[in-house]
């Protein structure tokens, strides 16, 4: 779920960065509200893009398994004799 939110936030950030350029706003015909400059729009977009990338990377961390098998023997004769619980972080 965090990964989807991260992609949405990063996408909005990239859209704001693109809208900070006058040529893009003229092409799409979106006027800039009074009091908001191009610099503010670019800073807000950059912050949102960084937060989105952070959320994406945080959600992509591998999860440690709760239990791992302990084997005895070799090859075809190998069998599971116990399970070791991994400690919580």
Residue ranges per structural domain of the chain: 2-59
Check residue 89 and give its pLDDT: 56
pTM above 0.75, yes or no: no
Could you list the pLDDT tens digit for every one of the 89 residues in the chain? 778 999 999 999 999 999 999 898 889 888 888 888 889 999 999 999 999 999 988 876 677 778 888 889 888 889 999 988 887 65
CA end-to-end span of the chain, whole Å?
21
For residue 18 the two structure tokens come to 């693109």
Q: At which residue do the structure tokens 């023997």 appear? A: 73
Check residue 51 and give its pLDDT: 95
Check residue 7 and give its pLDDT: 94
Check residue 33 and give its pLDDT: 82
Compute the distance between CA of residue 43 and CA of residue 34 in angstroms, rounded to an integer: 17
For residue 84 the two structure tokens come to 């070791």
């Amino acid at each position: 779920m965090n990964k989807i939110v991260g992609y949405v936030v990063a996408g909005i950030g990239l859209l704001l960065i693109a809208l900070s350029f006058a040529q893009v706003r003229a092409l799409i015909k979106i006027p800039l509200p009074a009091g908001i400059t191009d610099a503010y729009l670019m800073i807000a977009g950059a912050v949102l893009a960084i937060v989105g990338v952070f959320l994406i990377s945080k959600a992509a961390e591998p999860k440690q398994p709760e239990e791992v098998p302990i084997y005895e023997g070799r090859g075809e004769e190998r069998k599971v004799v116990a399970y070791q619980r991994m400690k919580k972080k």
